[in-house]
Structure 1
Amino acid sequence: MVLLQNFRHIACLAACVFLASPGRAMPVETSDTVLERGSGSGKRIILWETSLTSELKSIPGLLSAATALGSSGVIKSVTNWETKRPDEVPKKFPYRPMVRTPQHLEGDNWKNLISVVSSQKNTIVHFYNEPERNGIQASDAVASWRQKMLPLRQKYGAKLAGPGCASSDEGSAWLRTFMGMLADEEKPDYLNLHFYTLPSNPCDQEIRNAESFFSEKHKTYNLPVIIGEIASTSRDGAQVVEFTKEVSKWLDQPAQSWVVEYGFFGVSTGVDDNFVSPAAQMLDSKGAWTDLGKWWIGAS
């Protein structure tokens, strides 16, 4: 299997997420039933970057884009690499908060998280975003997992998604160490996997690579899978569309019922770094859904 080059392909997110204002109080949801079951029949996650919330005033089209999600029958949930729900996204979607870094285990970030899990039934909480690329040792992550994350399951009934490691040798080794240190009763409820293509590889090869990677990890750990991030990095727009649609089709098949949710990357108004493909963008600079974005939310 061809694996990703060992570099930080998601560095753009770090710049975006720190623009959030974690001190604002988390709104209390009024309908646990709707939030628990989700809104559509699909598995798709809207990866609503935190930067979009801060751009609402300067890019009015974003509010229309967020509102359009309300009629989607394929979107299942929303996440934003933070612990506070983006208020502009329809409340019909369950929110998946993320303890992205150790800093999210304390202060206002943690208060926001507790507000979510105490007001939204069966909340799925994501733990650490590509920790192997952020200098976090697996042993330290295990200690935090036991001290802070497991009590969320015990006290609030939250479901836990394990660390979202990259599909590189480094990421696989880190995940293997982390999982190997946990007792059976301490294991996460879901694996959280990332996959980005190599821009130089043909589309059909990367489709097979993605399918093999997810299947192998599911078989290895025998846990249901959430694909927290996936995208083609090709500069060929046709290949980006083909990869996105073909992999989505495969993930939606009954044979892949072990895949619970998956989120394609690119819900932002601009390309954040040289790794992300402009063709994978699901919003344009005015906040409107691109053709790929319309397809992703089921609007075309």
Structure 2
Amino acid sequence: MVIKKRQILWDWTNSSGAGNPGVPGKLDQVGFGANSPVASLINWNAWVPPELKGRVPFRPMVRELASASGNDWSIIQNNNFPIILFFNEPERHGISPEKARDIWLKQMVPLRKNKGRKLGSPAVASDDNGRKWIEKFMSLIPNDKPDYLCLHYYSTNADEAIKYITNMHNKWNKIPVMVTEIACIDRNYQNVVKFTAKVCNWMDKQSWIAEYGLFDFQRKVADDFVSPAAQLMDANGNFTELGKKYCHEQPMKGPDGKVLLVAEAGEEEAAAVGVQSLAVEEQPEEEVAAASAAADDAETDAQLIEPLTNEEGEETATAENGTEEEPTMGIMAISQDAQKALNLHNNKRKGKNLKALTWDDKLAQNATAYAKVLAQKGKLEHSPGSSRPNQGENLAAGTGSLNLEKSAKMWLDEEKNYHGEKIPDGNFGSYGHYTQCMWKSTTKVGMGSAKGSNGWTYVVGRYSPWQLYWTEAVLIIMRLLLMLRLGYLLETGFHTVRSLLR
């Protein structure tokens, strides 16, 4: 299924005008249509480029103070644009939050109330000045928030981009996001492609990101800050390889030609942790995606809400080869691949003085069954929490030689992203697989895999008991206290307690 979120940031000099023939015909390289990931076009102005020809919606912008009056404002008032964007990096153009508030309330909000338009917030730079500006602006309009939080981000680090966008989204009561400018500023083309593929694939998968625009389609490098290696159009108006990838390739491939996919948690998991659970993993040998989430069911055992380390420091038996001799259970002998995956888990847990996990045949059978479901669907998505009571779930998918061992390694490699924060605080999506593998009270694991007709291998890991988030534990306790107050537990007994946790 094509995900339509990508904006074409079409520099206004590409359109024909007085003394400027432009390159309007070059817009045809986008290849608009049902199979295109392109959703809209922006030119930082109120007027519609004639060459657009209605092929996708146009997003007009009140770019600066002058745009709030005269011909630009007349265009916006007298057309049926469904979404209108407001101010482009106002903190860098001498527009105060107070001045922006006045125009917002007097001119923009009536467009929403009277004409049903949706409004994008001012898009600030991601530096300290930009963040302070938008924080002040949002505090000045408590009852008239924008429909979309518009963001800009430029850097060399894709993980930092993901973290920034996620944090900004969480800051303002989950307002949907439009990333109206984003680009890698690295001067190395391979690094630019890597950044772009990772970030675009991640944004494609986030339900709360409405649209995003890669900067930008113009015939010259905008300034010294922007990287020449990130140009989407050459001096003649022809799309660069990066420009073609952005317009036509979904998911986007990295510099090695391998797809970097991002998987997100289902709605139940997302609601539980407050953000989409996600992970981006890069493997040189195959195309890989991963996701992590916890089940909806949990025991209200106090030991579940614990740090990862074991203060008691129990010792684990070691085999002659120097690796842990892993405990298993059940009646089936596990495969060599499964044993290696189990060893990876327990070697990592031993380093934190955590008890070793045992391999559970039933968990492995259930994991394999769900892996077959994913292989049939050809899509990486979490199973409903109700189908796996008291079980956590890690997912992976990839081409090539992906197996249980490599999937476990991928999840555990997220250790570098976890710094002891209270789960699920911070960028949970970047460390959630790791904490599931390392959860102190988890005692059993089972994994399974299946190969789909699309050539992808799907891997499922199941953990019991699952990692219970602090926020969820508080909610469960509050529900218990409420029922105690009402006297329900006295009437229905222990089974009522159990039903709250399912």
Normalising by the smaller structure, the TM-score range is 0.7 to 0.9
Q: Specify the alignment match of 1:110 in structure 2.
A: 73
Q: Secondary structure at the match of 2:7?
A: strand
Distance 1:69 1:163, change over 3 A: same
CA contact (8 A) 1:139 1:178 kept: yes
1:221 aligns with 2:168: no
Q: Specify the alignment match of 1:208 in structure 2.
A: 159
Equivalent in 54, 58, 61 of residue 16 of structure 2: 54
Equivalent in 115, 131, 137 of residue 90 of structure 2: 131
CA contact (8 A) 2:149 2:176 kept: yes
1: CA distance, partners of 2:5 / 2:79:
21
TM-score normalised per structure 2? 0.47
Q: Secondary structure at the match of 2:217?
A: coil
The structure 1 segments of at least 4 consecutive aligned residues displaced by more than 6 Å after TM superposition are none
Q: Secondary structure at the match of 2:113?
A: helix
Q: Secondary structure at the match of 1:265?
A: strand
1:91 deviation in Å? 0.8
CA contact (8 A) 2:32 2:38 kept: no
Equivalent in 105, 112, 116 of residue 157 of structure 1: 116
CA contact (8 A) 2:3 2:204 kept: no
| Aligned-partner residue type, residue 177 of structure 1 | K
1: CA distance, partners of 2:69 / 2:215:
27
2: CA distance, partners of 1:75 / 1:68:
8
Number of residue pairs the alignment of both structures matches = 246
Question: Unpaired runs of 5+ in structure 1?
Answer: 1-39, 198-202
TM-score normalised per structure 1? 0.78
Q: Secondary structure at the match of 1:163?
A: coil
| Aligned-partner residue type, residue 74 of structure 1 | P
How does 1:279-294 map onto structure 2 within 5 Å? 279-294=229-244
Equivalent in 23, 28, 44 of residue 66 of structure 1: 28
2: CA distance, partners of 1:273 / 1:57:
20
1:191 aligns with 2:177: no
1:267 aligns with 2:229: no
Q: Secondary structure at the match of 2:87?
A: strand
Equivalent in 119, 139, 144 of residue 103 of structure 2: 144
1:9-44 C-alpha deviation (Å, 9 max, x unpaired): xxxxxxxxxxxxxxxxxxxxxxxxxxxxxxx73210
1:95 aligns with 2:58: yes
2: CA distance, partners of 1:107 / 1:85:
16
1:207 deviation in Å? 0.9
CA contact (8 A) 2:169 2:177 kept: yes
Q: Specify the alignment match of 1:236 in structure 2.
A: 188
1:154 deviation in Å? 1.1
Q: Specify the alignment match of 2:136 in structure 1.
A: 177
1:54 deviation in Å? 3.3
1:78 aligns with 2:41: yes
CA contact (8 A) 2:91 2:129 kept: yes
1:147-195 C-alpha deviation (Å, 9 max, x unpaired): 11001101211000000001011100000000001122x1100100000
Q: Specify the alignment match of 2:226 in structure 1.
A: 276
CA contact (8 A) 2:148 2:177 kept: yes
CA contact (8 A) 2:29 2:239 kept: no
1:283 deviation in Å? 1.0
Quote the RMSD (CA, aligned, Å).
1.8
Q: Secondary structure at the match of 1:228?
A: strand
1:57 deviation in Å? 6.5
2: CA distance, partners of 1:89 / 1:288:
17
1:279-300 C-alpha deviation (Å, 9 max, x unpaired): 1111111111111111111169
2: CA distance, partners of 1:155 / 1:104:
20
Distance 1:274 1:96, change over 3 A: same
2: CA distance, partners of 1:266 / 1:295:
13
CA contact (8 A) 1:282 1:290 kept: yes
| Aligned-partner residue type, residue 99 of structure 1 | V
1:69 deviation in Å? 3.2
2: CA distance, partners of 1:132 / 1:153:
24
Q: Secondary structure at the match of 2:57?
A: coil
Q: Secondary structure at the match of 1:145?
A: helix
Q: Secondary structure at the match of 2:150?
A: strand
| Aligned-partner residue type, residue 225 of structure 1 | V
Distance 1:234 1:107, change over 3 A: same
Q: Secondary structure at the match of 1:241?
A: helix
2: CA distance, partners of 1:228 / 1:44:
10
1: CA distance, partners of 2:216 / 2:40:
16
Q: Secondary structure at the match of 1:260?
A: strand
1:41 aligns with 2:14: no
Rg (Cα) greater in structure: 2
2: CA distance, partners of 1:57 / 1:165:
30
Q: Specify the alignment match of 2:455 in structure 1.
A: none
1: CA distance, partners of 2:241 / 2:29:
17
CA contact (8 A) 1:65 1:288 kept: no
